[in-house]
Amino acid sequence: MSKVATRFAPSPTGPLHIGGIRTALFSWLYSKNQKGKFYLRIEDTDKERSKDEYKDQIINSLKWIGIEHDGNEYIQSKKIDDHVKIANELLKKNYAYKCYCSSEEIEDQKKRAKQKKIPYIYNRKWRDLSEVDAPKDIKPVIRFKSKIKGSYILKDIVQGDIEIENDTIEDFVILRNDGTPTYNLCAAVDDHQMSMTHIIRGDDHKINTFKQIQIYEAMKWELPSFAHVPLIHTIDGKKLSKRDKASTLDDYSKIGIMPMALRNYLLRLGWSYKDKEIFTLEESINLFNLEGIGKSPSKLDMSRILSMNEHYIKNIDENDLFGQLNEYCKLFKKEIKQDKKDKIKKSLTFLKNKAKTLEDIFNNGQYIINDEVNYNQEDVKLIDDKARKVISDFSTQYEKIDTPSREILEPIINELIKSHATNFKGVGQPLRIMLTGSKFGPGIYDIILSLEKEQVQKRLTIKIT
C-alpha cells in the first residue's frame, strides 16, 4: 500500500469534544509513527449548522494540544462539485437511482416502523420503478443502490471481523433534492481523493463505513483500512455528550491542565503499551500502534487527569513550567506584571508543591503577584492577642536583618517558639496570614524569602483586625 495517510474530519457544528480530540490524537500519532501524512478536513457541508466560530475552536484546540496537520485545512464545502459529479456517475452506472417519494410518504414509513418498534429503513420503492411513472411535482433525491443479498465482513483493525447482513443497510441518500451531497458520499469521495490509507474514527461511524465501502467498491477505488475507536464514557458509564461539563478542551485548559498532560492522559485512555503510563511526545510517536487500542469504551476520569497534570507540574523543567504558566495566563487574561514574573519564576520550586493545576500555582502565588494582600476574613479572626505579640516580636528581629536567608530566619523562629511557649504552627500561622492573607499556602520560610524586605515589614505591621 502507498504511504500512510490519515485524517481527522470534524464537522464544525459545535465545539470539539474530548472524544474527537482523542480520535485526532490517535490518527496523528499513527501517521507520525508510520512517517506518513495527517490531514485536517473540515466537514462543513451542513451550511445551517456549521459555524466559523466552531471551525476556529477546532483549529485552536488541535494547536493547543500540539496536533499539527500537514498542508492546509481541507474545506469540504469547496469540493461539492466533485461530490455531485460522483453522484451522477453512480447514477449513470446504475449504482444509484432517483427516488420520488414525497416527504409525507417517508414520514409515514418512519411512523409505521416506530409503531412496530423496528428501526426505520427506506422500503426501496423507487429502486426498480421506471422514471416514466415519476410524479412531475416532486424533485427526487438520489439514493445509493445498496447490496441486498449476502453479508459483508469488515476487517477492522481495532474490533476484528465485523459481519453485517447487507439488507440491513438501506438505500441511503447521496444527493438531497436541493442538489446537495450527504455526509456518506462526501466522506467517501474526499477520502479517496485525498488518498487516505487508514480511516481512524469513532465507533459510532461503523454503519457509515459499510455505506462508504459500497461507494468505494462501486467506483472501483482501492479501499483504505478502517479502525473504529470505542467511544469515551463518563465515569458513571454513560455516553459522553456535548452537554457534559468537562467535554471540550477549554474545560480543561481554563482550570490549568497542561496540554502535554492531557495529551498523555488521552493517549492512555483506551490505548496501552505494556504498563507504561508516562509518555514523552517522542515516545508516543515511536511506540503508538493501532493494535494497542482497546475494544471497550473508556471512562473519562477527572481525578486521573488531575494526577497526570500534577505529575507533569512536579517533573518538568521549571523554565518549561514557567512557559506553560505564562501561556495559561495569556489565554485566560490573568495578569502577572513584568516585575513580578521573575519572582514567580524563582518561587516555582515551592509554589508547584501543592499544585495540581496551573490555576493552583497562580492562586498560590497571589501574595507575590499582588501588592495588596487579599485577607481571608475567617483566617484573620485567628490573629488573637497572643498571635499579635508573636508577629510584633518577629518584626523587631526581622528589621535587624540585612539580607534575610533561611539560616538567619530559622534561629529567630525557634527562639520565638520557645519564648512564647508555643509550637511551629503558633508562630508560622499568624505570620503566614499576615503575609499572604490565608492560613494555607507555602512554607513560612519560602513566603518570607520570596517577598521584598520592605514588603514583609509593611505586611507585618498592617492593621487587619
Q: Under the rule (CB under 6 A), what is the footprint of ligand GLU?
A: 9-11, 43, 187, 201, 205
> Residue 119 CB, nearest distance to ligand GLU (Å)?
20
Q: Tell me whether residue 23 or residue 347 sits nearer to ligand GLU (CB atom).
A: 23
Instruction: Identify which of residues 14 and 140 has a Cβ nearer to ligand GLU in the complex.
Output: 14
**Nearer CB in complex with ligand GLU: 57/309:** 57
CB of 187 to ligand GLU, least distance (A): 5
Closest CB to ligand GLU among residues 205, 352:
205
Which is nearer to ligand GLU, 5 or 383 (by Cβ)? Answer: 5
Q: Is the CB of 196 or the CB of 260 nearer to ligand GLU?
A: 196
Please name every residue paired with 201 in a beta bridge, in sequence order, or none if there are none: 228
Pairing state between β 225-229 and 160-165: unpaired
Q: What are phi and psi of 449, to 5 degrees?
A: -75, -15
Kindly give the interhelix angle for 424-436 and 385-399, rounded to the nearest 10 degrees: 80
Across the beta sheet with 96-99, the strand order is: 96-99, 141-144, 173-175
| Inter-residue contact 84 to 179 (CB < 8 Å) | yes
Q: From the CB of 56, what's the least distance to ligand GLU, in Å?
A: 16
Nearest Cα to Cα of residue 187 among 398, 35, 64, 43 = 43
CA dist 297 and 199 (Å) reads 19
In the complex, minimum distance from the CB of residue 201 to ligand GLU, in angstroms, rounded to a whole number: 4
Write down the least CB distance from residue 9 to ligand GLU, Å: 4
Give the shortest CB-197-to-ligand GLU separation in angstroms.
14
Q: What kind and span of H or E run contains 83?
A: helix 80-92
User: In angstroms, rounded to a whole number, what is the distance separating the alpha carbons of residues 161 and 153?
Assistant: 6
What Rg, from alpha-carbon coordinates, does the chain have? 31
What sign does the CA torsion over 191, 192, 196, 198 have?
A: positive
How far apart are the C-alpha atoms of 29 and 63, rounded to whole Å?
14
Q: How far is the CB of 221 from ligand GLU (least distance, A)?
A: 16
- Residue 11 or 34 having the CB closest to ligand GLU: 11
CB closer to ligand GLU, 229 vs 306: 229
Question: Is residue 38 a contact partner of residue 7, using CB atoms and an 8 Å limit?
Answer: yes
Strand partners, 202: 229
- Residue 227 CB, shortest distance to ligand GLU, in Å, is 11
Nearest of 367, 276, 361, 255 to residue 314 by alpha carbon = 361
Cell numbers given for 296: 471497550
Q: Of how many residues is the chain composed?
A: 465
To ligand GLU, the closest distance from the beta carbon of 34 in angstroms equals 19
Kindly tell me which of 191 and 379 has the beta carbon lying closer to ligand GLU: 191
The b/e string for 372-397 (b: 16+ C-beta within 10 A; e otherwise) is ebebeeebeeebeeebeebbebbbee
Minimum CB–partner distance for residue 122 and ligand GLU (Å): 22
Nearer CB in complex with ligand GLU: 145/201: 201
Q: Are 20 and 59 in contact (CB under 8 A)?
A: no
